[in-house]
Amino acid sequence: MKHLSDCYVLLTTAPSVAAAESIAKQVLDKQLAACVNLVPQVRSFYRWQGKIACDEEVQLVIKTTAALLDELEQLIRSVHPYEVPELIALPIAAMSDDYQNWLLKSVKSC
């Protein structure tokens, strides 16, 4: 495995599978990520407007590069149905050489 600093996982959630699929397709169409996993039936507890809320959501796990994070964030903000979408970028500490090569070939060059 390679130790990395230029590959990231971006996490966000969506209110439905349809919304998550729409976001995923737009991200992939623009080559801002190599892969988007949708994890349905995530139960989220959070504070919103002074109250504790609970909703079932779909978690999106988006694999991308550091160079594309800003553009990816802008796209998600522009199409996301939430007023304040979750946007959390986590650096990937290590990944297999073949997966990294595939990821880098699958996204657009900056």
At residue 107, the pLDDT reads: 98
State the CATH class of domain 2-106: alpha beta
Q: Are strands 51-65 and 94-95 parallel, antiparallel or unpaired?
A: unpaired
pLDDT for 98 equals: 93
pLDDT digits over 1-31, tens only? 666 669 999 999 999 999 999 999 999 999 9
DSSP state of 49: T
Distance of CA 110 to the CA centre of its chain: 19
* Predicted pLDDT of residue 1: 60
pLDDT for 90:
97
Sequence spans of domains, the chain: 2-106
- Residues of the chain with pLDDT below 70 are 1-5, 110
Strand intervals (E) in 49-93: 51-65, 88-91
What sign for the dihedral angle of Cα 45, 46, 47, 53?
negative
Dist CA 2 CA 27 (whole Å): 25
